Copies of this chain bind each other. A is one copy, B any other.
C-alpha cells in the first residue's frame, strides 16, 4: 500500500465486449506509465486460455463444452444470436480498423501488463496451468489479488 499509482482489473466476465474493455483500459493505463495488473477469474479465464479447454472430470468437460474456443469465440454480453453478434462486431471492428482481441491482448503483454490467474476458479473449472497461455505470470488466490488492488489507485471489477 505504498505508492498507489497502479491499476488493478478484476476480470470475471468472458463476454467479448467486456474482455475488450478490460484490455483497452489495461493497455491505456500501462501506456500512461501505471503498473497494471489483470486478475482473471471465472469466465475471464477464457481470455487467457490456449483455445481448447477441457477439464478431466465430468463437470470440467461440461464447462469445457460450453466454453470451447478461447479468445476467438467470445460472444458480446448482448446480441449473441448463436455467435452472430460476435461476427457482426468483428466485421464492424475490422471495417473501422479496430484491433482484434488477440492483438489487444498482445499489446497489453508488450506494455508490461501483469496477467494473474485465479487459483480457485481454475480448481473449480478444472483448468490447469498448461491450459493457459505461457505469458500468465502466476496463479494466485483472492488474497493476492486483493492486496494488489489495495496497493493500486485504480480498481475495476469487470
Interface of A, secondary structure class, is: helix
Q: Cα distance A60–B21 when bound, in Å? A: 20
A134 to chain B, nearest CB (A): 25
Q: Please tell me if the beta carbons of A18 and B12 are within 8 angstroms of each other in the complex.
A: yes
Q: Cα distance A158–B5 when bound, in Å? A: 22
Residue A62 CB within 8 A of the other chain: yes
Could you say how many copies of this chain the assembly holds?
A: 3
Chain A interface residue bracket vs B = 35 or more
Please give, as numbers and ranges, the residues of chain B lying within 8 Å of A62 by CB-CB distance: 88
Contact bitstring A28-49, B, C-beta under 8 A = 1, else 0: 1101101000000111000000
Q: Please tell me if the beta carbons of A93 and B150 are within 8 angstroms of each other in the complex.
A: no
Q: Cα distance A41–B18 when bound, in Å? A: 11
